[in-house]
Structure formats: C-alpha cells, structure tokens
Structure 1
Amino acid sequence: MKYMTGNEIRSAYLNFFKSKEHMILHSFPLIPENDPSLLLIGAGMAPLKPYFTGKLVPPSYRVTTSQKCIRTGDIDNVGRTARHHTFFEMLGNFSFGDYFKKEAISWAWEFLTEVLALDKDKLYVTIYPDDTEAYDYWHNMIGLADERIFKMEDNFWEIGEGPCGPDSEIFYDLGPERGCGQPTCTVGCDCDRYLEIWNLVFTQFDRDAKGEYHPLEKKNIDTGAGLERLASVIQQKESNFETDLIYPIIEQVLSICHKEYSNPDDKVALKVIADHIRAITIMISDGILPSNEGRGYVLRRILRRAVRFGRILGINDIFLAGLVDTVIDILGGEYPELIEHKEFIKRVIETEEKQFSATLAQGLMLLKETMEASDGAKMLAGAEVFKLYDTFGFPVELTEEIAQEHGIAIDKEGFEKAMKEQQERARAARHDASAKVATPDTTHLDQVKLTNDKYAVTAKVVMVGKEGVEIGEAHDGQEVTIILDTNPFHAEGGGQLGDTGVLTSAFGKVVVEDAKALPNGLVYLIAVVEEGVVHCGDVMDIAVDTARNLAMARNHTATHLLQAALRSVLGDHVNQAGSLVTPEHLRFDFTHFSPITAQELDKISTLVNKEILKALPVTIEEMPIAAAKEKGAMALFGEKYGDIVRVVTVDDFSCELCGGSHVTNTAVIGSLCILSESGIGTGLRRIEAVTGAAALEKSQADAKELEIIAGLLKVKTEAIPEKLENLLSQMRETERELQDLKKKEALSGVDSIIAHKETIAAVPVVTAQANVDSIDELRDLADTILDRLSGGVVLLGAIHDDKINFVCKVAKTDTAKGLHAGKIIKAAAQAAGGNGGGRPDMAQAGGKEPQHMDEALKAGYMAIYDVLEK
C-alpha cells in the first residue's frame, strides 16, 4: 500500500468514480432540505433519498460525493474507541437504476487494490446468506476464496416499509497484534483486528406494510466508505485520531495544556476535543448556531462537552476558537465555505464558550445545593442529574465525579430513563413531521414541457395526487397535490411563503393553499377541492392572489435592503441567518454579537427608507454562480446553490442570490417600519418589520396614540417628552421617599422582633413573622437582625400574594455546631405546604398555605432545637 494524505484519498476516490462516468456533487449542507424527519445529515445517501425512491429524476444516474455527516447517538463513545465520531466524511458512489452489483463490487475492489494499493490478502467480505448473486461476483469474478467470504444474517439493509435490500461489507485485516488473541477471532469479532472499511447496499426490493418483499423495477446502489477509517489504514495508525485529518488538532491542544498523549485519561479528553471542534466548525459553517432546541442544541451540547474535557486537561481559559485555524487548514481545501466564514465561526465559538463558563459555575452551585438538600441520601435522583444535563448542559460525567467526591452515587438508571423519554419525544416529533412530507412522484412527467409563467391565466392539470400517490381525480373536501403544465404560482422558499389562489373549470373549483418546489425546481400546489371534481387533464382558469403576492414582494425586497443597511451600520460580519416573509410582515434573523442600540436602529431604518425613496429599479438576472460571485452577490449562509443562480440587485446598494418575489422598484415598498429588535441565541439577533399598507397603518396608529397621550397629559404632542420626564422625575422622588419610610418602618420592628429571641445552648434564636413587601426586603431584615444578634439563627416568614416567603440565616460560626439553614427552612416550608433548601448559612423557600404560618415557624424552631439540644 502507498501512503496518501486524507485529502489525497478523498480526491482519489471522487476522481476514480468520475472516471466511471459519475457526476461529482459537492457535499450537501448538514441541514436536510425538505426533510423534517431528519435533524441533521448523518449518512451519504440521506440527501439523495428522493432519487432513490424514484420520485425525482436525478441530475445524473451515477453520482459520487464526499458527504459531511454528524451523528451523536454514540457521543459518549467518542474518544473511548478508535472509530466513533460526531463529525465524519462519508465517501459514496450511487446508482439510481443504472448499474448494479457487478459494477459496484468490481469498482470497490479496483479502487481498494489498485488506487489505494491495499494488500488483497488482507481483504475479506461479508454477504447476506441468500444473496447468491453477490457471492458469485466475489467468488468467481473477483476470485475470493470461500474462507474469505462470510455469510451473515444481519447483512440486510431496511428501515420499515420502502426500498431495501442485502448489503456486502468489506473488511481489512489489521493484523493479529490488533486482535483479541482468541482462536475464534475472525471477521465479525468485537475486537479491532478486522476493520470494516466499505459497505455496498444493493437496494433491490420494496417492502410493503405486510412485510412482504417485491422486486424493484429499478435497482439502486448505495455505497459508503468512511474517509477517516480509510486514512487510518493507509497511514497505518491505531485509530482515526492519529491520522493527518485529526492529529494536528490534538497536537495543538497538547501545546496548550502541556499534557502527554500517552496518558490514557488525557488521551480520551484530547480525542474528544479534536473530534468535537471539527463538528463545531463544520456545523457553524453550514449556518447552525447554538440554541436550546433542535440542531442548535446539538451544537451547544457538543461545544459544552468539548469545554468540559478542556477543564479535565487543566485548560481554564477560552481555547476552542483558537483551534479553528487548524481545522480549516485540514478541511478548507474541500470545503471553501470554512475559509469564507472563518472569522464568524471563531466569534460564535468564543461567545458561546464564554457564556458556558458562567453556566458551568451556575451548574456547580446548583449541584452543590442539590446534594446539600438531599438530607444525607447516598444517591442523587436521576431526574436531578438529567435536569443538570438538559437545562444547564452539565455533563453527566462531571455530576458523577463531583457526587462521588461527597460519597454520593448517581441514579444512572433514572437518568437513562429521563434521557430515553426525551429522545422518544424528539423522535416522535420528527416522525409526525415526516408523515406530513408528501413529495409527488414526478419521474413520469416530461419536465422540459413544464414551464413557469407568472402571467399565465390558464393551464392544464398534469398530475393530481394525495400523500405522494397519483390518484387521477379528486372530489369535494379532499386535500390534494396538483401540478400544472404552466405554473404562475411562486413557490415557498428563501423564507417567503408560497402563493395562494383559485383554480376553476367547468367541473369544479380548487382553492390553492400553498405552492412548494422540489429540488429540481418543479412547482407543485397544495390545494383543497372546494366544489365539484378535478381531473388530471382538466384545463383550468387561474387566479393567483396577486395582492397577497405583491405584499410579500414588498417585504422580501425590504429584507434585502435591511441586510445591506445592517452591514453598512454594524459591519460586514452581519449575515442572514433565516427569514420569514409573509403578506403581513417580515422577520429577519442575522448574525451579530451585541444588542443594537437605539441610535444604530434609527440609522438602519433611516438608511433603508432613503433607498426606498430613491425609487431605485430592482433587477433580476439569471447567471452562472461564478459570475454571480464575481458580481459580488451575497449568498444565504449555509445554503446550497446550483450552477445557474438568480441574482437580485438594487442599484449599487444590494446584490443577493435569491429566488423569491420582488418589486420592480423600491418605491413600491412605500416605507419600512421596524417593530422590534431582539436577541434569539448566541450571536443571533432578530428584526421584525412591516412595509406598504401595514407600515402606513402602524404610523397612523402611532400618531393616534400620541394624540390620546397628549390629551391625557394636557399638552401638545411635541411637548409629551418634556412632560413625561417631569412626571417620571416626580415619581422617582416619591418612590425614594416611600422606600425610606418602608425601611424605617421595617427597622423600627427589629427591636420588637429581637425582644422575642430565645437562647438555646448559648445560641440566640429568632423565629418570627415579618411585615415586608418582597423577598429582597425579607433578606435585608434577616441580615439586620443577625448583625444585631452578633451570631445565632434567624428564621423569618412573610405573607405576600397568598403565599409565604421564608428566609433563614445562620451565622458562619454557628454552622460548625451542625446548624444548617437549608434544613431548617425545609422543615418550616414543608409545614406550610411548600419545600426548599439552600446553603448552611443562608436559604430561602416558599409555602402555599399562609394559614399555617405559626406551625411553620414552630417546625423551623424545633429543627434548630433538635440540633442544639442533642
């Protein structure tokens, strides 16, 4: 075998299959397109599902890719095994009804033995026992002896109903020194000797709801070879982590922490960080940002886990962003989007890591309080462990480690149960979403004859379908999918909703509720038959809701002007991170790392409205993507574009790639009125605004409200600010005077409260009901009393809004006597229908039964007495 770098292996693979007439497709983004059943792309074939099912005509019947993949199902094994990763690259070659087993097997063998020059004598294969065809090709065509072909029942790929078939795996023998040493060690053993490096899936059956298998008319090939695994074999490394695809990152981490890679515990942490920073960098480059749900939560979890393992290595400073350059040095040649967004990726990571440092401290405090409130229990409840993990991103390993230091175990079974319940909820949600996806089967349509024409007023129905199945005709009340030979409806995309309208014929009336586009650009309508019947072949009159479309066009063009203004005022780091364009309003999400000031927001609004008033023409052109980039057109962050793109330009102010509806002149927008600006995640902001008639209505409503306010204040509208300032000044002064009076009143009651103190075992004890308005005032009062006592215990309760607030303070010197504020207050709160806990020197809690105030204070008193009079 000859040495090759990881990048050389990838290039060799793609070029090899290009020589076999395969089209090389750039990796699809990690965010699945039109497939809510998937959270992230986790396999090479996942973005190609519409071509495998035969519902879409592929760009080529032979395709090869190196697909970015993210999997987190075995995240706890990352770093502890030689092969588990969160991010990896899957090399694949695919056939959609073209070649089949003979070519797939032959080319896999040719690439491995001739291009990579692997030793033929070290290669073994597995097949499905009934797959005599695959056996024949391996045995007679390739020449493998029987003892190197293993028949295994689990060599069959299927996921419920739908396309499925046998598969054949290729293994490489890494040598007896990597094995378990058992005489029975062979292919399929759990040890590391025989490494699976390639899987060929032969999709040849269709499984129906009854579990019966029917031969597919068009058989497909889906193969996958892990790039990192191949690199470990070619470069003769013990694990994927020692290859040139990952180890340079480990070396950089070693230079930061000054540890040794040979140390087993340190090695795990180093591998986790190296793996995770690759995933983090790739995910952000595809437009995924940290959040508390969905893909953003996956990213946040991986990032926080990397930080945690950095702490294990003794790295307490911010460090992850500094690793990004090394990741990009390795992967940037294949994924230029990494280079393009490098500074932004670093900024997101740095911001999130800083925030997690504070969260980590908060989680540690909560864990400590949880253990203190456990009343000596020797096990931490699984629900509490999961709360720390799920709410605070607190690694379960860290919880277990700290708990063990205090002699407490964690309920792993309870934690796993809570984790499983969450995963099932997420899986069910994705399944429900998947059930709603009904991609029409369009392969029988001649797409060359199907056109888009926004001016069309009649068209012929070429397909009527329901839930992805062609039905020919539909009647009153049925929700259907319709495709027209000439389509004037603008499809949903780029954040813009799809057009609506009405189709009518002599046979019936159909209300179009949405328009969507397939990956190949074909537009299909989601509609309801309101009257009569609709047939395939009917010629129908079309009435698109043009007023609604124009309202969306105003808002869509306004988002382009808004992005340009944001970049002008805030800086070039601003990128679109999502949008929603409806007839009523627009929502624009963008990257920025601090709140926008009122002055900045005013500048942005003014700049957009100036461009609107200039009455600038809006031009739309189609051109090759290279020409669009040369023109300076901005692309949507994380979006995948074809060779020919649509460029929307507004003079020299804005130039973007976009497929949405737009006005022909900025003057049509009328004006832009910003409704709100807010933060929605790490480095992510949101602006909501209105244009056109909605902006006019908003201005008129604001003017009317000002008139009402002016009338109430008995001044002219222009004098409102001055009048309000005077009133607020008077209110602030009155509030100060009121607070002073309350403070004096509260302090005047201190003497009467202290007068009822008791002394137990030489410790002064005060338990009393206080007359205060808030928990803050109750804490202040407890502090004052404790200071006056010069030690001891204070337990106070106050009724507010039909509930009781409790505060307990114990002098630091008296906690050594066994007094614990958290336990005292827990006894009091439980007597009043509540619960709580806290530190030994300070705790607060609540109760739901104010009528039991006296019993609660007595229960707290007895908790103090029981400790001091032991």
Structure 2
Amino acid sequence: MKKYGLNELREMFLSFFESKGHLRLPSFSLIPQNDASLLLINSGMAPMKPWFTGEQEPPRRRVCTCQKCIRTGDIENIGKTARHGTYFEMLGNFSFGDYFKREAISWSWEFLTKTVGIDPELLYPSIYEKDEEAFEIWNKDIGIPAERVFRFGKKDNFWEHGAGPCGPCSEIYFDRGPEKGCGKPDCTVGCDCDRYIEVWNNVFTQFSNDGNGTYTELTQKNIDTGMGLERLAVVCQGVDSIFDVDTLMNITNKVSAITGATYGQSHKTDVSLRVITDHIRSATMMICDGVLPSNEGRGYVLRRLLRRAARHGKLLGVSGTFLWEVCATVIEENKNAYPDLVEKQDYITRIIKVEEENFNRTIDGGMSILTSLMEAHKAKGVAAFPGEDAFKLYDTYGFPVDLTLEIIEEQGFTLDRAGFDRLMQEQRTRARTARAALGDLAWAGVDLGLDNTPTVFTGYDHFIEEGRILALVSDGELCSSVRTGDEAIIVLDRTPFYAEMGGQAADHGTISSYGNMFKVTSVQKNKGGKYLHSGVMVAGEFHVENTVTAEIDETRRRAVMRAHSATHLLQKALRLVLGDHIQQAGSLVEPDKLRFDFTHFAATTPEELQKVENLVNNAILDGMPIKIEEMPINEAKKMRATALFGEKYGDIVRVVSMGSFSTELCGGTHLDNTAKAGAFNITSEFSVASGVRRIEATVGQATLESLRQSRSMVFELAGILKANNPGELVQKLEQHLGELRELRRAIDAYSAKEANGEASRFLAGARTVGDLKILTAAIADADADKLRQMGDFLRDKDDSVVAVLSTVNDGKITFVAVCGPAAVAKGVKAGELIKTVTKLCGGSGGGKPDSAMGGGKELSKVDDALAAVDDFVIEKLGL
C-alpha cells in the first residue's frame, strides 16, 4: 500500500465518486445555515439535513463532499490520546433516494482495496445484527467469509436520534496489527484498544421511528456514508496517531521551531504540542468561515481553543504571541483544498494575533489573582476550589473556567463545579429575562400545515402585488379568519414585501381587499421560504383563500434602499482606506439610517473617517448606475464580487454592481443610481467587540434633517452671542471666552487675597506650644481648594506653624493640616497629624510631612478633632 498524503487521499476519494456519477460539492461552512440545533457543523451529513428530510430538493441525487467538521465534546482529551481532535475532515458519499446498500457497500470496498490499495485481509466489515440484506451483500457479493463479518447491536450499528429517519449501519475496520492491540486472547473487532480502527461507516436510512419504538419502511431510502480523512491517512501512512499524519506533523514542526520543544521528548511536551497543533488548525478554519472570538456560542468555542493553545505555548516557554505565525503553516497545508484560506490569510492572522494579545493581558492579571486564591485556600486546608471564586474569575476578569480547572487540578484542587454552574445558570436566567422584555417570536415555530413551495417574492420590481392568503395565525395558533383588532400573521403565495434578512429591515405597508385592511409592521421568512406578514387587522376581516392586494410603503422602502446602497459604498470605502482585511461582521439597514459592523483592530482616526465619508459621497455625486444581475457563483467570483463573510451561497447568486466602485453579492433591494442616496454622513464610530468596530451613518432625508437641526442650532447660538451672522460665531465666542477668563482671574486673585488675609488673622491668634505656633479653625463656606491655599500660606509664612483647618460641605468634613519646616524637624508631621484628626470623625486621610488632607463623616466630632491637635503636638515634643 502506497503512503498517500492526506491531500492526495482527499482528491482520490472525491474523484472516485465523481466517476460513479456523484456531484462533487465544496465543503459547507462550519457555521450551520438555518439550523439552530447545531452550534457548528459536526458531520458530513449535517449541512444536508433538508435534502435528507425532503424539505429541499438536492442539486443531484448523488453527492460527494469532503466536509470540514468541529467537535468539542472531548476537548479535555485533545493531545492526550491518538484519536481525539476538534477539527477533522469527513469524506462522504450520499444518495437521496437513488442507490442503496449494494452500491454503497461495493463502492466502499472498491475504493479501499482497489483505489487506495489496502490489503483486503486487513479489513473487517461489521453490520447491524438483524440486517441480513447487508450480510448477504458482504458475504455473497463481496466474498467476505461469514466469520469475518461482525454483527453488533443497536448501540454500535444502528443510527437514530429520537424520532424520524433512522437505519442500520455497516462499518469497515482496519487491523493495525497485534503490536497495537491490548494483548488479550479475545481481542478482535469491537475491542476498545487501538488495534482495530473504524475507517468507513455506511448508514442505510431506511426506517422512520415514531418515537415510541415503532419503525416503518421509508419510501425514499437514503445513503449517508462517512470516513474520517485523518483516520484514513493514519492507515495509509502507517503512523500511530492523527497527529503523526503528514499535514498535521508539518504544523507541529512549525510549533516546535518556534517553541524549541521537541516532539517525542516527553509525554507532557507532546500533549502541549498536540493541543496547539489541533487548536490552531481548528481556529484557522473557523475564522475563515466567519466565526469571531466572543463570550458565547461558537465564538466562545473559538476563544476557548485559542486560549488553550496560547496557554500550552506558555507551558512550553513562549512569553509572547506565536499562534499567528503557526497559522501560516496551517494555510499552506490546506490551501489547495480551501483556497479561501489564502484570500483571507491577512484577516485570519490579525484575528488570531489580537485575540492572543488580549488573552496574554487576561492571563497575566487573572493568574496573579488565581495564585493568591489558591495560596489562601491551601493555607486554610481547603481542597475544593470554591465555585464563587471560579465564577468571579470568569465573570469579572474574563478568566476561562476550563483554564481555571486545568490550573487548579495541577495544584491538587478539585473544583466546586456545581457552585460555578449555579451562578452561571443565574446569569443565564437574568439574560433570558432581559431578552424576554424585548419580545419573542414564538410564532416562528408554528406548523403552518403548508407544502414546501416558497412564497414568490416580487418586491424587486413591484411595490404592489395581488396574492392569495395561504394561512392565518393568531395567538400562536392557525385560524381560518381574523377580524378587526386581531394581531395576526398572514402567509401569502405572492408578496412584494421584503422580509427582514441580510441586515435589511422588513417592509411595512398594507394588505387589503374591498375595504378590509391589515397593517403590516414586520415580515419574516421561515425555513421553508414562506413569508410571514405580522401586524394588526385595522378594518374588516380576512379568511384563508381570500385574494388580496399587498402594497408596501413606497416612501419607506425607498429610504431603506438609499441606506442599503450606501452600505455597499461604505464597505468598499473602508477597504480602500483601512485595508483588504475589512470584512462585514453585521449590518442593519433602516429608512435613511445604517449601522455597519466590520472587522478591524484599532479605532479609526478622524482623518480616516473623513476619507471614508468623502469616498462615499464622491461615489454618490458621480451618479454611478447600479446594475443587478443573477449569475453562476463562479462568474461572480471572476468579477471579484465581495461576499458576506461566512454566508453560504447557491449556484446562482445576485450581484449588485455600482459602476466600477463596488461589486457585491446581495439579496437586498437597491436604488438604480448612487446619486439617489443623497448626502452620506457618519454619525459615530466605536468598538462593539474585540476586533469588531461599528459605524453608524445617515443618508437622504435623515442627513438633511440633521443638517436642518445643526443650522437651526447655529442660528440660535448666533442670536445668543449677538452675532450678526453665523460667520461671526467663532470671533464672538473667543471674545466671550476671553472676557470669562479675565473675570475668573480677577475672582481667583480676590479669593486668594481674602483667604490669605483670613489666614493672617488666624496666625495672629495662634497658641504657643514649646517653640511651635499651633492654630486650628473651622472655616465656613469654603472648599478644599480654599483650605489648601490658606494652609500653604500659613506654612510658608511661619516655619514653626502647625495648623489644622476644617470645613463642612454637603454633610462631609474636609480637613487640611500643614507643618512648617521647624515643626517637621521636631517630629511633628502633617501626614500623621491628619490621620489622628480624621479618625476622631470617622474618616481617614494622609499626605506628606508638610501638607496633608483628609475627610470625616461625624459632624458633631469636628470640635473634638480640632482640640486634639494640641495633645498631638505636646506628645510629639515630649512636653
């Protein structure tokens, strides 16, 4: 058997099944599309669920893919075993009601034994114990002796997840030799040791489970097969683990070159090298598909992977950032299969570097706190690290709980996970309550009882459309009619209303017929493509099957179109000014207002924002025609059309071109000329997440209204400042500010003179203690600055002075203490004196030997505090 490289094996598999009439599809994004049940794609069939269930028509009845997958259920075992990895590639061939068991089994055997060249004597099939059809195929068609076909029960060889489609499996195992085994006399296929490893799994979806254990035969039988690419490479290359496969080992070699750690040196070092290799591979692929680090969902998975990898780098002696360097090797090893990696290399590298830098700051601060906590608990003999402490580290300092767990276990602690989970649940409950206050789309899950024919959207070209009511929903239930005052949802067969998606706000308007009218305030589209018009029945009543006229608010739609077209111009301008790494991370397009989130790693300067705004306005003033075309995705790529990051597009896409300035894939509504957008004005720019900035802007009437308000304010200011016209505003303002400064200087000079005069009178009445002059005074209607000024005057006026002054404002006492040079020389220091005085009033203070300040709370104790000054001086002088 030839030792094929991983990249060779991928191409061999896809080419083989292309020769069997399969359509080769590129890997779907790791971000699930229209599937809330998954955080990340974790199997080859996951993106194809609608094709298996019949919700959607597949592009062909036979399909093959190499699907990128992420699984994090065993993340703690990564690096410790030969089998576990968070990122892997799943080779798969699929049949949607076309071929079945005979073809699936024979082709799997042909590929492994003929194409790859694996010795048939080293391969062992398994079947579901009751699947006689599969046994017959293996035994009679393929020629495998009965004793070499292993029968297993439901747990191992029957695929099902609750109710729905399910079926038996047939797996193929490879014998790695007795040296990899456990040594037990009965060691055979199915043993938990590393001798026999599964390389192929054929799933025969032929039944439907009603959820109560009753199985009925499906009319459309499907084939879902899968084979881990890395596992196949382990077999072909004769290596011990997935980490020894050529592409992964090249990544490990890069990590070794940076860290100085040698693979095979020790188990601990190997674990760290494997963790880094696996996690940076996963992170690179996730970022390429549009995942950004965050504290929830798939973003948290990414952040956790990067932080675990960074920490293992620290365990290997790395002090700075390094993962971004390894990223280049990951891309080099995978660029032929996934060319998007090269296109987005700069972006991916920046995300990783910024996240690593942020984590270094987090871990430096968090580690010192965690170390202190562990020392305190050790001193008390506490073996279980409190959940409250772990939660505070996570919630306040951003220190990941899994990292806390790893570190405390190294120090012999266990974690009170129940306590941590309880606090996390309380936090989630608070978040759910907050979300509930914003409203709920409970109707989204209503079964409309309709076929899978999507609503026909005509709103690109029409503002009015005649349609038929297919379904009505009120109070979360299907109904046959709605009447005046009812809040409801109307489903039409045809509509001009744009549903909220792609960041564009939904259309508003009316649905009417012969005096009956429904006011539409929101439109959503469900998974089946049905448009759900939400609103209220304002007059009359509607029934299912009524023919109605749907009419959008044209003025509002045109305002939304202005904002949407301006958003495209903005994205292009940002890329021109800030760089090609700029990617859209979200948007909201409303009437004449837009919000645009983009990936960038520093605040934009005022100069950069001005350049962006100028570019957009120049594109508007140029009056460029806006052209909208539908074309194959490959043609759009040739035009270098910008795609929404992480979005999965079909074979035919909609391309929006604005002259030669901007070309994007977009399903939204647009103007026909950039000039119609009107003036573009950026109103704010700020950070919304690590590496993500947000720009808010206006166009059209919103910009004009802002200008009107600004102009009105300018004229109002001109009137207040008695300027003849707005052009004189600056001159008038400078004149008034100059006068104010002169008045302030005069007031300050008078106040200083008054304070110094008052201080002189106090000094004249000072008491003599030893060689020092002691004075105390309560000053009315003073502030801290006046007290400090009087104190400085007294100290500078007489070397032997010891003075404490007080004042009361808003129920709080302020004290100032000063000591002249002669007093300080005799051991009488203002810093010590102020502590004594303020303590008597329930307060505190401090300062230098010659000057100090403090405060107190107990107003009734002010006189006692001032009286204590003499005793303090006498004690210090030893009198």
Instruction: Please give the alpha-carbon distance, in whole angstroms, between the structure 2 residues aligned to 1:794 and 1:88.
Output: 68
Instruction: Please give the alpha-carbon distance, in whole angstroms, between the structure 1 residues aligned to 2:713 and 2:213.
Output: 66
8 Å contact 1:56–1:443 — kept in the other structure? no
Instruction: Please give the alpha-carbon distance, in whole angstroms, between the structure 2 residues aligned to 1:234 and 1:146.
Output: 25
Letter in 2 for 1:54: G
Instruction: Please give the alpha-carbon distance, in whole angstroms, between the structure 2 residues aligned to 1:791 and 1:188.
Output: 79
1:83-232 equivalence runs, <5 A: 83-144=83-144, 145-154=146-155, 155-208=157-210, 212-232=214-234
Question: Cα offset for 1:123?
Answer: 2.4
Instruction: Please give the alpha-carbon distance, in whole angstroms, between the structure 2 residues aligned to 1:505 and 1:180.
Output: 78
Deviations 1:414-452 (A, max 9, x none): 4774598599989999999999457978876499x9977
Q: Residue 541 of structure 2: which of 520, 526, 532 is its match?
A: 532
Q: Residue 454 of structure 1: which of 452, 461, 470 is its match?
A: 461
Q: Are 1:562 and 2:563 counterparts?
A: no
Question: Cα offset for 1:226?
Answer: 1.2
Letter in 2 for 1:239: S
Instruction: Please give the alpha-carbon distance, in whole angstroms, between the structure 1 residues aligned to 2:632 and 2:562.
Output: 26
Q: Which residue number in structure 2 is paired with residue 862 of structure 1?
A: none
Question: Cα offset for 1:724?
Answer: 6.8
Distance 1:649 1:137, change over 3 A: same
Q: Identity of aligned pairs, percent?
A: 45
Instruction: Please give the alpha-carbon distance, in whole angstroms, between the structure 2 residues aligned to 1:170 and 1:24.
Output: 23
Letter in 2 for 1:597: T
* SS of corresponding position for 1:245: helix
Letter in 2 for 1:592: H
Q: Which residue number in structure 2 is paired with residue 489 of structure 1?
A: 497
Question: Cα offset for 1:660?
Answer: 1.2
Q: Residue 625 of structure 1: which of 620, 625, 633 is its match?
A: 633
Instruction: Please give the alpha-carbon distance, in whole angstroms, between the structure 2 residues aligned to 1:850 and 1:208.
Output: 76
Distance 1:86 1:191, change over 3 A: same
Instruction: Please give the alpha-carbon distance, in whole angstroms, between the structure 2 residues aligned to 1:236 and 1:742.
Output: 85
Q: Which residue number in structure 2 is paired with residue 591 of structure 1?
A: 599
Letter in 1 for 2:63: V
Question: Cα offset for 1:399?
Answer: 4.0
Deviations 1:31-55 (A, max 9, x none): 2222233222222222112222211
Distance 1:128 1:392, change over 3 A: farther
1:227-246 equivalence runs, <5 A: 227-246=229-248
54-63 or 450-459, which moves further after superposition?
450-459
Distance 1:794 1:71, change over 3 A: farther
Question: Cα offset for 1:553?
Answer: 0.7
Distance 1:610 1:33, change over 3 A: same
Deviations 1:200-244 (A, max 9, x none): 222233334656444333222222211111111111111101101
Q: Residue 409 of structure 1: which of 410, 413, 419 is its match?
A: 413
8 Å contact 1:771–1:798 — kept in the other structure? no
Instruction: Please give the alpha-carbon distance, in whole angstroms, between the structure 1 residues aligned to 2:846 and 2:132.
Output: 78
Question: Cα offset for 1:274?
Answer: 0.6
Q: Residue 249 of structure 2: which of 247, 250, 263 is its match?
A: 247
Letter in 2 for 1:43: S
Letter in 2 for 1:542: A
Question: Cα offset for 1:261?
Answer: 1.1
* SS of corresponding position for 1:318: coil
Q: Are 1:30 and 2:19 counterparts?
A: no
Instruction: Please give the alpha-carbon distance, in whole angstroms, between the structure 1 residues aligned to 2:311 and 2:704.
Output: 52
Deviations 1:395-422 (A, max 9, x none): 66764676578x7724254477459859
Instruction: Please give the alpha-carbon distance, in whole angstroms, between the structure 2 residues aligned to 1:201 and 1:428.
Output: 39
* SS of corresponding position for 2:247: coil
Structure number with greater CO (CA < 8 Å, separation at least 6) is 1
Question: Cα offset for 1:704?
Answer: 3.2
707-716 or 730-739, which moves further after superposition?
730-739
CA RMSD, Structure 1 to Structure 2 (Å)? 4.6
* SS of corresponding position for 1:542: strand
Q: Which residue number in structure 2 is paired with residue 701 of structure 1?
A: 709
Letter in 1 for 2:104: A
Distance 1:52 1:564, change over 3 A: same
Distance 1:663 1:3, change over 3 A: same
Instruction: Please give the alpha-carbon distance, in whole angstroms, between the structure 2 residues aligned to 1:427 and 1:140.
Output: 60
Instruction: Please give the alpha-carbon distance, in whole angstroms, between the structure 1 residues aligned to 2:295 and 2:717.
Output: 40
Instruction: Please give the alpha-carbon distance, in whole angstroms, between the structure 1 residues aligned to 2:49 and 2:60.
Output: 14
Q: Residue 286 of structure 1: which of 264, 275, 289 is its match?
A: 289
* SS of corresponding position for 2:646: coil
Deviations 1:304-327 (A, max 9, x none): 111100001111122111112211
* SS of corresponding position for 1:41: coil
Q: Which residue number in structure 2 is paired with residue 690 of structure 1?
A: 698
Instruction: Please give the alpha-carbon distance, in whole angstroms, between the structure 2 residues aligned to 1:373 and 1:749.
Output: 49
Letter in 1 for 2:259: C
Q: Are 1:662 and 2:664 counterparts?
A: no
Deviations 1:621-643 (A, max 9, x none): 23333433333422222333333
* SS of corresponding position for 1:289: coil
Instruction: Please give the alpha-carbon distance, in whole angstroms, between the structure 1 residues aligned to 2:219 and 2:790.
Output: 89
* SS of corresponding position for 1:11: helix
Q: Any gaps of 5 or more consecutive residues in structure 1?
A: 751-768, 810-848, 854-870
Q: Which residue number in structure 2 is paired with residue 310 of structure 1?
A: 313
Question: Cα offset for 1:341?
Answer: 0.8
Q: Which residue number in structure 2 is paired with residue 388 of structure 1?
A: 393
69-78 or 235-244, which moves further after superposition?
69-78
Deviations 1:593-631 (A, max 9, x none): 211112222222233223223333222223333433333
Distance 1:35 1:850, change over 3 A: farther
8 Å contact 1:9–1:231 — kept in the other structure? yes
8 Å contact 2:636–2:655 — kept in the other structure? yes
8 Å contact 2:613–2:681 — kept in the other structure? yes
Deviations 1:73-130 (A, max 9, x none): 2211111111222211111222222223332222222222222222223323333334
8 Å contact 2:473–2:490 — kept in the other structure? yes
* SS of corresponding position for 2:246: coil
Letter in 2 for 1:223: T
Instruction: Please give the alpha-carbon distance, in whole angstroms, between the structure 2 residues aligned to 1:568 and 1:12.
Output: 41
Distance 1:22 1:426, change over 3 A: farther
8 Å contact 2:465–2:496 — kept in the other structure? no
* SS of corresponding position for 1:577: strand
Q: Which residue number in structure 1 is paired with residue 2 of structure 2?
A: 2
Q: Residue 647 of structure 1: which of 655, 659, 669 is its match?
A: 655
Letter in 2 for 1:455: H
Letter in 2 for 1:335: Y
Letter in 1 for 2:200: W
1:396-795 equivalence runs, <5 A: 399=404, 409-414=413-418, 417=421, 421=425, 436=444, 445=453, 454-455=461-462, 457-461=464-468, 463-464=470-471, 475=482, 477=486, 479-480=488-489, 482-484=491-493, 486-505=494-513, 512=520, 514-515=522-523, 524-527=531-534, 530=537, 532-536=541-545, 538-583=546-591, 585-709=593-717, 717-718=726-727, 741=786
Q: Which residue number in structure 1 is paired with residue 64 of structure 2?
A: 64
Instruction: Please give the alpha-carbon distance, in whole angstroms, between the structure 2 residues aligned to 1:732 and 1:245.
Output: 74
Instruction: Please give the alpha-carbon distance, in whole angstroms, between the structure 2 residues aligned to 1:667 and 1:437.
Output: 42
Question: Cα offset for 1:565?
Answer: 1.9
Instruction: Please give the alpha-carbon distance, in whole angstroms, between the structure 2 residues aligned to 1:67 and 1:723.
Output: 69
Q: Which residue number in structure 2 is paired with residue 829 of structure 1?
A: none
Instruction: Please give the alpha-carbon distance, in whole angstroms, between the structure 2 residues aligned to 1:511 and 1:211.
Output: 47
Question: Cα offset for 1:669?
Answer: 1.3
Deviations 1:621-679 (A, max 9, x none): 23333433333422222333333332222222222222211111222212222221011
Distance 1:580 1:535, change over 3 A: same
Q: Which residue number in structure 1 is paired with residue 851 of structure 2?
A: none
Question: Cα offset for 1:554?
Answer: 0.6
Q: Which residue number in structure 2 is paired with residue 368 of structure 1?
A: 371
8 Å contact 2:526–2:532 — kept in the other structure? no
Distance 1:795 1:377, change over 3 A: farther
8 Å contact 1:746–1:771 — kept in the other structure? no
8 Å contact 2:473–2:479 — kept in the other structure? no
Instruction: Please give the alpha-carbon distance, in whole angstroms, between the structure 2 residues aligned to 1:106 and 1:112.
Output: 10
